[in-house]
Chain A
Amino acid sequence: MTRSLWKVLLVGIGLVVGTARCSAPAAGPAPVGGGAEREQRLATGTDFPAGPTDPAKVKKGGVLRGTWTATFAHMDMHQTGNLGTWNGVNLLYNGLLEWDAFDTTQQKMVPGLADSWQASPDGAKFTFKMRPGVKFHDGTSVTAADAAFSLNRIIFPPKEVASARKEQFVMVDKVESSGDTVTVTTKFPSSNLLGLLADAWQVVVPKHVVDQNGDLKQVAVGSGPYKLKEFVPSQRFVAVRNPDYFKPGLPYLDGVELYFFAEETTRIAALITNKLDMVNPAGQGLTAEGAKDVKSRNTPIVVGSTPRLAFDAWRFNVTHAPLDNLKVRQALNLALDRSEYVKFLSDFEGVIGTAVFPGSFWDLPKADQDKLVGYEAGYEDKLKRAKQMLTEAGITNLELTLMGPAGVAFDDNAQAIESLLGKVGVKIKRDPSQQEEARNKESKGQFDIYYGGYGIPTIDPGGVYSDHYYCTSPRNTSKWCDKDADALYEQQLKLLDPQERRKVVWEMNKRATNGASMGIVAWRNEDWARWPYVKDWVVTPSRYTLASKLEYVWLDK
């Protein structure tokens, strides 16, 4: 009996020790630091083709089956930023110009419905010449009037249109058309207007269809490579080849079918049993765990992880004392060392960065980044400084509420924040909420610290700043306001020389980061998978490029 009891005790101790080891924060993969390493990562990512395959070698036909996200609102691209809408509906439309499908650094724009464009010497007037002979899916011609109508609908929306991107175009004075040209006049020289127009949300829609239907929520008549065949919200989106597409020979596919699966196991099962050709990060991708699962199966499926324009961040509500004190915020940022932080994130794949996309032309040199609050080396020294700063600010027994969307990501980040801030004597009370409720509370400022994931549409350096730091931005829920930083933002918008602009962007980024209202932890990778016969499918950092239109994709089977 005694011997049995000892055995039971030993087994019990073994179980306790084993469980304790399993629940310690897993040491994640070493985060990529920056500089040339980051640029390498950005430029190559994986074995994407540098350009399209010679059309003579392409096998035409077939239907590509991918995944679709459920968060579908409606089909009116001007009135939503919903990924479910994007994933399917972007196949049906074009913009005046577009980001190149094969450029993973997102620096090259290519003609879309405008076959050429010019900027005036003062950078305040942009003239686009429309490509002749392009037709909408209903056979009517795409005109400059349609393009001007579309841009006005986004930038100067009528009362019944809730434009999702109006605030991005504050620099625009007017949009006009004459003959086959569209002219956009800005209030001041604009360095980022073309980039914003190349963002594939800015699609050209037929005026007569909008006039007839009131909006485009339930109807989609574009000029894109595919035409809508059917869609059922949260189930499937089916598009067929547009035989009259203005790019000769394209698209190569007969159609695209996108399916929604709520459960990742089902998605993976469908991929492995070849019911799907790919799992698409613009729709529903894979978690890191799911990607590992697919890799472990004995299949030829190609699994990849590529940089995306998405980052995790915490934000402090600077209207809540003592977070209104810059020194307090900087102290907390010192404690929330990024390299230590990412160790708490399960399945972390990404790169530590600041408010511009790491590895891009606009990114800070690593030496400069390492001088920013929260990014310096020497964790122990930073902790000492943080404690000292808090003491000098008279802060003792500080308790803060951490709010965010409930889930594994929140739990990981909450653990990181609790542990790291705990080292400087700050207690954290968790307040996870359901996704939409969390956004609602965030927008109303009902938090001390908010953790969330965010995305930006383009690598343009103003993207993060204009959304999350600009004084009057609706998404600046920290309510941080630095007029000097805003002035730098406005200045860089007007600088046409990229080198000059970059210098101002760097200063803007440094000010925003050292303002310590929002702490960008890291820019994430996203995981995807495809069968090897799916060719010329490129995952660009921004979803909103020509790559997502699948016009060059073909099936080698």
Chain B
Amino acid sequence: MSRYLVKRLLLAVPTVLGLTMLIFFTLRILPGDIALTIVGDDANVSAERLDEIRRTLHLDQPIWVQYLDWLRQLASMDLGKSFGSDYPIAKRLLAAIPVTFNLAAYTLVLTVLMAVPLGALSAIKRNSWVDYLCRCLALIGLSTPSFWVGIITLMVLAFSFNWMPQITVVGFLEDPVTNFSQFIWPALVLAAAQTAVLARLTRSALLEVLGEDYVRTARAKGLRENIVLLNHALRNALLPVVTLLGLQFAALMEGAVITETVFGLPGLGSTLIQGINAKDFPLIQSSVLFIGLLVIVINLAIDLSYAWLDPRIKFD
């Protein structure tokens, strides 16, 4: 297992390097002028002054010099400062990441609580009205755009019930009740689509396992049905489910931009969008790199969890 872990970590190095090159060079070919963004709409600034701004941001340097400077900064664990505002990137991300993590955690818990029973029920009561109802609900969740669900949810809460979550984010440890009230609605919006996907996967995975010989043997031995399902079938059906959960978590951590925007949550997604709008290269680079690293780590964690879920799996 440790050899496998080391191999995977070593493989991550060229991946991360490739990622930095992709992020960095893609940004530099985008149109737009950061100097104009910085001076703002109501300033009348000469071309010389705009050049001065670009010089202070080292944008006049050759592109490969800028890239190496950035790598040097990363190597010294310095994420730099925002273009224009000089606001420390690390501070910005440290504020945004917990918000997105909070949202992702709530969403995953809700997703698992809703999807696994729904999928299992659908598999057990295959081809019954229960199965059709579950699949129908899954399809509705899958096909309804989350931005629409989010806006409608917010409008119903605000305009019909005159209620909206507190606009300043409160940490879970600080005030769990307020934290719950802030995140439950956007989490439900996100969980709707996630549940649909996971429920369908749970159903198909469970159906496959329920057809296996060992399940037939377990039933033939006279074990109760819920023991057969929970102890034998579901556990083995969880392998693909866990994979998907991990990928969904990674996707959530990339920032559910639209949901964060609709509910006014200052998470990673909305921070990234603001960085893109402001052409804040350091912020965009650091955010995307963080997301990339997270995906690599999560994938590794998923792979390692297989050994725990299925003792037959061994790593070289």
Contact = CB atoms under 8 A, between A and B. Distances in A.
A273 B159 CA distance: 8
Residue among B32, B39, B43, B87 with the highest chain A CB neighbour number at 10 A: B43
Name which of A70, A263, A272, A440 has the most chain B CB atoms within 10 A of its CB. Answer: A263
A281 to B, nearest CB: 14
A123 B119 CA distance: 83
A82 B45 CA distance: 12
Contacts of B95: 232, 235
A61 interface: no
A455 B263 CA distance: 31
A74 B36 contact: no
A265 B40 contact: no
B270 A74 contact: no
Given A436-B33, A440-B32, A80 B274 contact: no
Contacts of B264: 259, 261-263, 266, 270
Contacts of B277: 70, 435
A81 B266 contact: no
A33 B294 CA distance: 60
Given A81-B39, A261-B264, A273-B164, A72 B45 contact: no
Contacts, number: 165
Nearest to B52: A162
Interface in A46-90: 70-75, 79-83, 85-86
Given A165-B43, A234-B271, A266 B154 contact: yes
B298 interface: no
A262 B261 contact: yes
A268 B262 CA distance: 11
Contact of A72 (B42, B56, B85): B85
Contacts of A270: 158, 164, 167, 264
A233 B84 CA distance: 11
Nearest to A463: B44
Ordered nearest first, which 5 A-B pairs have the shortest CB separation? A81-B43, A82-B40, A269-B158, A81-B42, A164-B43
A295 interface: no
B232 interface: no
Interface of A: 70-75, 79-83, 85-86, 159-160, 162-168, 217-218, 232-236, 259, 261-263, 265-266, 268-270, 272-273, 275-276, 297, 433-437, 439-440, 443, 455-457, 466-467, 473-475
Nearest to B162: A273
A164 B154 contact: no
Contacts of A443: 33, 36
Interface in B1-51: 31-33, 36-47, 49-50
A262 B264 CA distance: 7
Interface in B256-284: 261-264, 266, 270-271, 273-274, 277-279
Given A440-B33, A474-B47, A266 B262 contact: yes
B92 interface: yes
Contacts of B155: 265, 269
B164 A275 contact: yes
B82 A233 contact: yes
Nearest to B271: A234
Nearest to A261: B264
B274 A263 contact: no
B266 to A, nearest CB: 4
10 contacts: A71-B37, A73-B40, A83-B42, A164-B40, A164-B42, A165-B44, A436-B36, A440-B36, A455-B41, A466-B44
